[in-house]
A and B are shown apart, each in its own frame.
Chain A
């Protein structure tokens, strides 16, 4: 339905949206139960309608799917492999742990899955310029990469705080030819980068496509980015079946805006036996108020174009989030996750900085894989979930964990967390 049709319908008879059944078929947007929608300036509606229409056409066009698949095969490096990690699993109560290796994708995370799809759409729309927000820099790097590949002009908005935490990714984006704009308003992190990208878009919408990095934002982004990330779960489901002969008992993923989590969850939505667990950034601990655990510690409201859970005060002002992981340091979350949480189909729990860094260290030492700090939240979740299963005697459980990205960008943060530079330097 176009915005126009919705509007006509809405004005005729404002109708509450029924939650409806939670299946893979139900979540087309613009609403996921009570969540989602379009809470944006009117100036953007035409562009969102245009994007929605073009995306619907692309979805129905086999040439679009073929081109995206070809890119994934020849450029991204898909399908990404799965890796069973028995030495790490010893720290997870001895259950079986399998990693989906999105860290091995070109540019180092799942973000490329979404970006290549949106870059193809930008071409179809006939637009020559893309903008994007980025937190950890992974989405920015992926967008800058696609812009280089497709010959698009590219501007990336990044909170000034994040440009410092992820300086290496700023350099990568610039090497790829993108303009990186440090954002100095508000908390100077991802939320403010999105505000600034939206202001750019409102101004330049005629020539510019906004390549949104996660499953938040106004319709059609949550459904579209989900569809583009869905390949993670589709591949992993079959790979786990091939390896183990059965479905996993638990699928775990970290949740910032929620794109890698939705990407791996979605193919399992109809498998009632599979527990879906999202791990949010608990920062210093949810009780300290310094965290980014939106579904655990937030309340429903409107932020960045959608109704969803968010961290807010009594007055509806957004509360600044805190996390060691720039990619999870966001006070909002995608509307489909709010729906999955309120319906109970998925569970969400917080992981503190310290717990994530312990999991980070363990995966490095036991398996020779340096994970992104974002993904380390999912690994820490696996440690908890595995131990809980083992405590209840279910040691044969299979845990599938989305390793959404690699830790190259985080080496400096980790070295400082573990005081490696001081130790090694003094020897």
Chain B
């Protein structure tokens, strides 16, 4: 369980994270979504005690990360897969972490096996592909067999097979009752991975809801209606509180009212409908809508 309260981070004048309050719960995959520069990585670094908050606090299992006695056995992290010494072998890269955490050396072999890197364990990391770096980073996150995982853009650089593998790994972890917190700047990725999403933009929390709810709440949901008496229907619908965003000949684009309600109004007034089609906003579109006002154009993408 990860809990942030009024968590903020300033870099000089730049407010990277702005009073975030949220909880990441066990047993589900929680996505952490936001455009580039939104403050996802910064938040994750604060969770892990790497960067110090400028305000508020964040705890892991009720404690500040820096107060955890055996931190990587409480929460495993993958922040930056390329943060490895290129002249060191994969095995030694994991072994120094295992030693520092008081873990048995066999754990190194176990996690290398788990991520499929056991054949290249002795090779220098410098020669690894992007996907291998990512697997090594995941191995490091799993080293302490932690009940919580936190991963920053974990699918970056993975091939399709690797992406499927990572997704099934998260699913399995969540099903085992662990906490899984995964960031991405792509809604399409979250759609396939997460049960719940936290959406941030410019450091601020924009949404905290089950993934299914995002599209339901979108203003982009609308109903397409085709009727010979479109003009008359439009008036009726407007008086029922709906708004008409588009009206071309016999076709109306209506929002703020459900398709069944439109059908009933039509029947009551004897209006013939040729088409009545609800259009759900895609997740991608709903996400763009949510974050539209908070895209940080100053940030490098």
Physical interaction between A and B: no
Residues of A within 8 A of B (CB): none
